[in-house]
Every structure is written in C-alpha cells, then in structure tokens.
C-alpha cells in the first residue's frame, strides 16, 4: 500500500508537471501566433505603403519629366528671344544711323531744292521711324518673353528640386520598408517553425494526459475512500475536540476559581498583616492579645448568641468598615483642627453671606416697593393730567393710561386708550395722524406737569394738524408756559404757530452759499408797530 501510494503520488506529480509544461507551451504558441499575425499585418501594411508610394512617385516622375521639357523649351525660347533682341538691336542701330544720315542730308539740302527730293526724304524718314517703332516693339516683346521664360525656368528649377527631395524621401522609405519586410519574413519563418514544433507537442502531451487521466481516475477512487476514512477520523477528532474544549472550560473555571481563592488568600494574608501592624501601632499588642481581651470582655451568654460564621461576618464587616476608613493618618488631629477652623470660618462666612443676601433681598424688596409706590403715584398723577389735557385739546372725549401685560407695575407695559369725540374707545394705533399727534402732545404735557424740566424741544409736532387743532395746540402750549417754568423751543413751518411765539429764529440765505441766522422779538415788534 505505501509503494502504490508513492507511485500514485509520483504519477500525479508527473501529470501536474506535464500540465505545467503544457501551459507555458500554449502561452508561447499563442504569443508566437500573435506575433506572426502582427508581422503579417505589418507586411501587408508595408506592401500597401509601397504600392501607394509607387502610385505617388509615378505622377511625380511625370511632373519631373514635364518640368525638364518645360525647362528645355524655356531655354530654347530664351535663346530665340535673345536672337530677336540682337536682331532688333541691330535694326534699331541701322535705323538710327540712317536717321542721322537723313538729318545730315536735310541739313545739307539748300532751300532751293525741289519738292520732290523733300518728299523722298520725308518718306525715307517715315520708313525709318516705323522701322524704329517696330524694333522697339519687338524689343519690348522679347524682353517680356525673356522675363516670363526666366521666371518659368526658376519655378521649374524649384519644382525640380522639390521633386528630387520627394524622390529621395520615398527612396529611403522604400529601403526602410524593404528592410522591415525582410525582418518580418525572418520572424515569420521562425514563428512558423516554433508553431510547427508546438503543434506536435500537444499530441504528445495529450497521449500522456490520457494515460495520466486513467491513473488520476484510479487515484480519485482511492482518494474518495481515503476522504471517507478522513471524514470518519475528522468526526472522531471533532468529538475529541469537543470533549477537550469541555475539559479545557472546566479546567479554566477551576483555574479561575483557584486564582480567585489565591487572590482571597493573598488579600486575607495582607489584611492579616495590616491587622498585625494596626494592632502593634495602635494598641501595642498582637491580634491574639486583642482577641483574648475581646473574649474576656464578652459574657458567655453573649458568646453563645453568635455562631462562628456570624463572628466571621461581623469581623468581615468591621474589616470592610476599617478599610473604608482608610489608613491611620498621624496628622489627623491637626488636619481635623484645621478643618474645624476652616469649617468654622466658612460657617461664619456662610452666615454673613446669608445675612447679606437677606439684607440685599430686603433692600431690593424695599426698593421695589418704593419704586412701585413712586411709579403708581407718578402714573396716577400723569394719568390725571393726561385725561384733563386730552379733554382740553379735543374739547371732549376721554383718554387714560393703563398698565398691561403684568400684575407687577415694574414689569408691566404702558398702553394709551383714547376716545376722541364721536368715536369709539381704542388704542393709539387706531387713531389718525393728527389725533395721534394731539394725544402725544397731551401725554408730553402731562409728564411736564408732573415733573417739569427746564427746556422742552418740540420738533414739528403741529405738522399733521389743521389750523383749528394748531390753535388748540398753541393755547395748550401757552397754558403750559404759564403753569410751569419750562422753556419751550418749537421747530415749525406753520405760520399760526410762529405767530403765537415770543421770539422767532430763522436761517436765511441772502447770497448763494452763505447762510445767516436771524431772530425777531414779536413782542418788541408789536410795540414798535403800535408806537408808529
């Protein structure tokens, strides 16, 4: 059984090695095929580029040939034009020489010559002039054609140079494409050889795979059996692990319990040591001696009432109480005295603060009470004056001030309720502008009657009033001046109000941009007018 298992493992390892070897071969084959396809596409592209280049070179070659022929024709035309120019020049020189001869003959001819000779000479002069004009025209045409031929030759030369550069460029591209096609053909042949070798390899591997697949099937059967046995063993292992976990849990609980008892033992030992130290430090005795003293101080009947467990519980309570009390502080008495002193000072301070707070509260209550009294008295006084003044200003009606929104006068708001003659009782917001102005004036005058001030400034109070109400306002203002020592300064544009004043102050601008303050004493003015 071990030998067969080793053989199976070896076969499985060979199968896996073959599969592992087949994988890289397949990847290499795929890579070679991809490279071959890329090389074939590159070759096709190069051939297409070569064909396109040939198609492009053919028109360029034809254009070059045409340019060469054009240059040749232009050279010939230039030569012909040069010859014509020379001929025309010679004709021009001959005509000029003949013209000079004719002019000389004309100079030599006497006035007595016949008219026949004169006409001959004129005819020859006209012919010479026509020949000169034709020569000049031919010269101009020859020069123009020469200029055109020269320009065409320069253009043809430039085009020829451009075509030659294009031919060189395409020649180099053809060479590079040929070289690249050669490399691609070499890579194609190498890839084909590798592909052929790779095609034979899968057949060999397939045979090996078939052989190994049979072995794998048998091994799979054995593996299934082993898996069944493994599952049985795993079930047994799980049961053993479950039992082990339970045992581990029980052991952990036992360890925890043991640790707890150890901690309790250590705590008891430490407490015992502390008890010994406390007994020695506080009572200069051992715990056994203290126990003997305690037992001697207890009656047998008292001892009979407690069981050892009750005693232990009581001892535990006493220890707990002692632990809560903490360790013995040697400076406890000093600290206690200091704390008592501080506590006494704080108690005294608290009493002082309590008394001060009580006094402050009494003072606040007294101030509030006095404020309420003063506020109520002032409110009642102002309210009475307001009622009287409102009735006087409106010649009827009624009005009053009310404290609203709170029972405490110090926290309450103030609301004006007025009822002019012929209207319903309402708040100030429901009245017209003139009525509001008169009501406000009545309230201001009521305040001044209750507590006069040296000066009162009224800024256009009479603006919303008509003439009848302005007259009432002025009468009330005059009455207020007589009843109080207040000086009223009224800012107004109403002539009725200004006529009732003692002194007028105004600002005038006699010159542009220059203001001047002027004043008029109406009483003095009236006396002056009366004296006149």
205 and 90 in a common domain:
yes
pLDDT at 201: 65
Residues 70 and 180 reside in one and the same domain:
yes
**Which pLDDT band, with edges at 50, 70 and 90, does 2 fall under?**
very low
In a domain, 317, yes or no: no
Q: 501 is written with which tokens?
A: 């004043």
Task: State whether 507 and 480 are in the same domain.
Answer: no
Q: Is residue 330 part of a domain?
A: no
Please give the pLDDT value at position 180: 76
What is the three-state SS of 212-270? HHHHHHHHHHHHHHHHHHHHHHHHHHHHHHHHHHHHHHHHHHHHHHHHHHHHHHHHHHH
Same domain, 132 and 12: yes
For the chain, the domain total comes to: 3
Which tens digits make up the pLDDT trace of 454-505? 888 988 888 888 888 888 888 888 888 888 888 889 999 888 888 888 888 8
- pLDDT category, 103, cuts 50, 70, 90? low
pLDDT at 3: 44
- State mean pLDDT over 416-437: 83
Is residue 21 included in any domain, yes or no?
A: yes
Residues 18 and 150 placed together within one structural domain of the fold: yes
Domain limits for position 390: 372-488
C-alpha count within 13 angstroms, C-beta hemisphere, residue 34:
6
- Res 34: pLDDT: 76
DSSP code for 317: H
- Say yes or no: 83 and 216 in one domain: yes
CA 171 to chain centroid, in Å, comes to: 60
CB 383 within 8 A of CB 400: yes
Q: What is the mean pLDDT of residues 293-321?
A: 65
Higher pLDDT, 6 or 384: 384
Residue 205 is assigned to a structural domain of this protein: yes
Q: Tell me: the pLDDT tens digits for 183-236?
A: 777 877 777 777 676 666 667 766 777 777 777 777 778 778 877 887 787 787
What pLDDT is recorded for position 199? Answer: 67
Q: Distances from the Cα of 383 to the Cαs of 303, 335, 359, 389, 404, in angstroms?
A: 91, 68, 35, 10, 14
Is residue 349 in some structural domain? no
Burial class (CB in 10 A: 0-12, 13-18, 19+), 507: exposed
- What is the 3 state secondary structure string of 23-87? HHHHHHHHHHHHHHHHHHHHHHHHHHHHHHHHHHHHHHHHHHHHHHHHHHHHHHHHHHHHHHHHH
- Same-domain status, 479 and 507: no
CATH number of the domain that 56 lies in? 1.10.287.950
Residue 245 has pLDDT above 50, yes or no: yes
Q: Is residue 414 part of a domain?
A: yes
In which residue are the tokens 């298992």 written? 5
Q: Are residues 507 and 404 in the same domain?
A: no
Most confident of 96-100, 132-136, 153-157, 334-338: 334-338
Is residue 458 domain-shared with residue 523, that is, in the same domain? no
Question: Which of 302 and 413 is assigned the larger pLDDT?
Answer: 413
Tell which of 235, 250, 281 closes a domain.
Answer: 235
What CATH number should be reported for the domain holding residue 408? 3.40.50.300
Q: Are residues 446 and 531 in the same domain?
A: no
**Total residue length of the chain:** 532
For the record, the structure tokens of 200 come out as: 């034979």
For the chain, the first-to-last Cα distance in angstroms comes to: 161
Give residue 23's pLDDT. Answer: 66
For residues 430 and 101, the model is more confident at 430
SS3 313: helix
With a cut of 80, say whether residue 110 has pLDDT above it: no
Residues 457 and 516 grouped into a single domain:
no
Residues 30 and 61 placed together within one structural domain of the fold: yes
Residues 6+ apart with CB under 8 A from 416: 399, 401, 427, 428, 439, 443
């Amino acid at each position: 059984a071990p030998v067969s298992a080793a053989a199976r493992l070896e076969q499985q390892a060979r199968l896996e090695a073959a599969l592992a070897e087949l994988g890289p071969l397949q990847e290499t084959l795929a890579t070679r095929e991809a490279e071959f396809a890329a090389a074939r596409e590159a070759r096709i592209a190069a051939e297409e580029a070569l064909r396109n280049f040939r198609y492009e070179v053919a028109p360029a070659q034809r254009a070059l040939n045409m340019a060469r022929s054009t240059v040749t024709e232009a050279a010939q035309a230039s030569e012909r034009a040069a010859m014509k120019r020379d001929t025309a020049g010679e004709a021009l020189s001959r005509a000029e020489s003949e013209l000079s001869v004719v002019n000389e003959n004309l100079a030599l001819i006497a006035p007595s010559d016949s008219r026949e000779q004169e006409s001959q000479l004129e005819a020859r002069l006209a012919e010479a002039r026509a020949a000169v004009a034709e020569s000049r025209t031919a010269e101009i045409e020859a020069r123009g054609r020469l200029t055109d031929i020269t320009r065409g030759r320069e253009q043809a030369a430039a085009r020829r140079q451009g075509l030659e550069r294009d031919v060189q460029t395409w020649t180099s591209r053809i060479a590079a494409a040929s070289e690249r096609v050669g490399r691609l053909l070499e890579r194609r042949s190498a890839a084909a050889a590798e592909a052929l070798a790779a095609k034979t390899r899968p057949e060999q591997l397939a045979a090996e795979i078939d052989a190994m697949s049979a072995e794998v099937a048998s091994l799979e059967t054995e593996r299934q059996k082993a898996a069944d046995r493994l599952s049985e063993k795993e079930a047994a292992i799980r049961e053993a692990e479950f039992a082990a976990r339970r045992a581990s849990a029980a052991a952990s609980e036992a360890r925890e319990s043991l640790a707890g008892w150890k901690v309790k033992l250590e705590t008891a030992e430490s407490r015992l040591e502390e008890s010994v130290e406390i007994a020695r430090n506080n009572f200069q005795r051992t715990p056994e001696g203290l126990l003997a003293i305690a037992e001697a101080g207890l009656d047998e009947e008292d001892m009979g009432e407690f069981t050892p467990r009750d005693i232990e519980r009581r001892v535990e309570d006493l220890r707990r109480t002692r632990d809560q009390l903490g360790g013995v502080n040697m400076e406890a008495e000093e600290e206690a005295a200091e704390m008592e002193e501080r506590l006494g000072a704080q108690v005294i301070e608290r009493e002082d603060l309590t008394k001060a707070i009580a006094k402050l509260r009494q003072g606040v209550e007294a101030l509030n009470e006095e404020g309420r009294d003063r506020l109520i008295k002032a409110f009642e006084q102002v309210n009475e004056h307001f009622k009287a003044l409102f009735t006087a200003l409106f010649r009827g009606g009624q009005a009053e001030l009310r404290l609203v929104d709170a029972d405490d006068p110090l926290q309450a708001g103030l609301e004006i309720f007025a009822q002019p003659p012929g209207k319903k009782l309402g708040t100030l917001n429901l009245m017209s502008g003139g009525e509001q102005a008169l009501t406000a004036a009545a309230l201001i005058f009521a305040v001044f009657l209750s507590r006069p001030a040296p000066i009162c400034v009224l800024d256009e109070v009479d603006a919303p009033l008509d003439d009848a109400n302005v007259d009432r306002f002025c009468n009330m203002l005059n009455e207020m001046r007589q009843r109080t020592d207040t000086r009223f300064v009224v800012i107004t544009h109403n002539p009725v109000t200004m006529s009732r004043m003692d002194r007028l102050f105004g600002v005038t601008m006699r010159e542009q941009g220059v203001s001047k303050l002027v004043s008029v004493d109406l009483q003095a003015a009236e006396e002056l007018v009366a004296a006149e």
